[in-house]
Amino acid sequence: MNDFLRHVACQTGATQLHGQDLETIQINLGPRCTLECRHCHIGASPRRDEIMTQDVIESLLRQLPDTACRAVELTGGAPELHPSFQPLVENLTALSLRVGVRTNLTIHQEPEMAGLAPFLRDRRVALTGSLPCYLEANVDRQRGAGTFVRSIAALRRLNELGYGITPELPLDLVYNPDGASLPPDQTRLEESYRQRLRAEHGVEFSRLLTITNMPIGRFRADLRRQGTEEGYFALLKASFNPRTLDRLMCRHQISVRWDGRLFDCDFNLALNLPVTTDHPDVSALAATSVTRRIATGAHCLGCTAGAGSSCAGALAA
């Protein structure tokens, strides 16, 4: 039994974690990104070139109507870089699915992406953009020089189109800590973000989502370099919160990787820890049990620490 399951068993008596239903399918189109952030769990960068093949996309589109899921989220890397990004969005909206995109924001400043934001606006695609602080120095330290200024320019442009202003065009921002600590209270931090971004940059957004840095990928390598890996795991264990267990994203979603492999979440995807079914492949998506046993590891302690963490932010007060 891993450290995470030991904590679950100790608090609830359950020796395994199981799925509950299927609310969202996350589609990871590939790890190619225009940025190379310090905390990236996927290890995304401009040098990665894996992308979801057309065969996987077609299989996915065939399977989706036979699942219970009504929402899909496109992620990466920068999903917008996939050559079939726009046709895929069209196909997903034609299936009457709610479509969301996780964006690095700065992609909207690339000259060849000028038409991207109006395209998304016209199809009512929800956006979730990473902005780990309202201070320029902190964002640039995590995500690279000049990222903050370009993110703010992108947010202003999205606001002009109605994103973050009208309820039909949600624009959520994502905060993650700048090191080996847990996020602060989501509601209070959202208020600070709103005041600072409005007053200093004239920027509006819908919600702030706080996310804990997962002890995997580049962030874990950073912890090792700084000799803080053990201390970080100790913090996650000491902060285990059983009230987060019901809403863990793995219990309500499936992630499809660019090569068609199926995972319980994007973190397991990064760790190459597939779903525990006999056929963890997109061709078996509709047949994949929603109550399957979830593949877990010590990294899962990142989702259950403090107020909890997921792609939709904090999980419990």
- Which residues form the interface with ligand SF4 (CB under 6 A)? 33, 35-37, 40, 42, 44, 76-78, 104, 130, 248-250, 264-265, 267-268, 294, 296, 299-300, 303
The DSSP annotation for 53-79 comes to -HHHHHHHHHHGGGSS--EEEEESS-G
CB of 199 to ligand SF4, least distance (A): 26
- Between residues 284 and 298, which has the closer beta carbon with respect to ligand SF4? 298
Cis check for the bond before 76: say yes or no (omega within 30 of 0). no
- Nearest approach, Cβ of residue 283 and ligand SF4 (Å): 22
Provide the greatest CA pair distance for the chain: 55
Pairing of the two strands 71-75 and 126-130: unpaired
- Closest distance to ligand SF4 from the beta carbon of 247 (Å): 10
Compare residues 132 and 164 and give the one whose CB is closer to ligand SF4: 132
Query: Smaller CB distance to ligand SF4: residue 27 or 40?
Result: 40
Q: Which is nearer to ligand SF4, 59 or 152 (CB)?
A: 152
β-pair partners for 281: 261
Q: Which is nearer to ligand SF4, 186 or 268 (CB)?
A: 268
Task: Give the C-alpha distances (Å, rounded to integers) separating 271 from 2, 108, 116, 267, 289.
Answer: 15, 29, 31, 6, 21
Least distance CB 42 / ligand SF4 (angstroms): 6
Residues 6+ apart with CB under 8 A from 62: none
Q: How far is the CB of 269 from ligand SF4 (least distance, A)?
A: 9
3, 16, 112 from 305: Cα distances, Å = 13, 18, 40
The answer to whether residues 3 and 111 touch, using CB atoms and an 8 Å cutoff, is: no
Work out how close the CB of 32 gets to ligand SF4 at its nearest, in angstroms, rounded to a whole number: 9
In angstroms, the CA 101 to CA 205 distance is: 15
Q: Which is nearer to ligand SF4, 59 or 108 (CB)?
A: 108
